[in-house]
Chains A and B, each alone.
Chain A
């Protein structure tokens, strides 16, 4: 059983650019959630995908968008990058319908916007 993987590990972008982050969910999981973790803070929910549809969204602007593919892997896209988007982006997968939503996290992608 493979765990949650994310790519790339680190990324440096310039303000105004666009970025795509990728996540492969744990085998057997059908739900992917994305979180943003700023330095010294807890992860903040961006959105969740279940069966390729967005299933809930946190307080993030529309320039944050995502996709989930038939194999349950996922992408997070951020347009018009701002300096405040610099953070650790975490992907978590889970199996919806199994009681507690124990989400299993990947190692994260560290995004730096300059």
Chain B
């Protein structure tokens, strides 16, 4: 069963605008949620995380929102830059420290 889902395989955004990447999960016992960015031929790079007891975390241009009742989180990138073009993975962490990843969303930011 897919406990973490990213339903949009791709997203295209104009430079300077907002990018919103979405993620849904099924297990209410997850402790943390994380976003990773991946360029081709590189490993995923940690971007930002949020504890399950919070509903928002902000770091520069990146903000993650958590809606526990809807079991939904989103990553906002404002303003989007061409260098943000990559595959973005949402991940959930259980008490055992295991990360469960979504399938990824490929973001393309056009100049």
Which residues of A are interface residues toward B (Cβ below 8 A)? Answer: 4, 31, 33, 35, 40-45, 48, 55-56, 58, 90, 92, 94, 96, 100-108
B107 CB to nearest chain A CB (Å):
15
> What are the 9 tightest A-B residue pairs by CB atom distance, in nearest-first order?
A42-B101, A105-B43, A56-B96, A100-B32, A101-B97, A105-B44, A100-B49, A45-B98, A107-B43
- Using known A-B contacts A33-B98, A101-B32, determine if residue A43 contacts B89 with beta carbons closer than 8 Å: yes
Contacts of B67 in A (CB 8 A): none
Residue of A at shortest CB range from B100?
A45
A64 → chain B closest CB, angstroms? 15
Write the residues of chain B forming the contact surface with A, with a CB cutoff of 8 angstroms: 4, 6, 31-32, 34, 36, 41-46, 49, 51, 89, 91, 93, 96-104
B89 touches A42 (CB 8 A): yes
Check B104 against A42 for contact (C-beta < 8 Å): yes
Alpha-carbon separation in the docked complex, A94 to B89 (Å): 18
**Bound Cα distance A40, B34 (Å):** 19
CB distance from A104 to the nearest CB of B (A): 6
Which residues does chain A contribute within 8 Å of B96, judged by CB atoms?
A: 48, 55-56
Shortest Cβ distance from A9 into B: residue = B41
Residues of B within 8 A of A96 (CB): 97
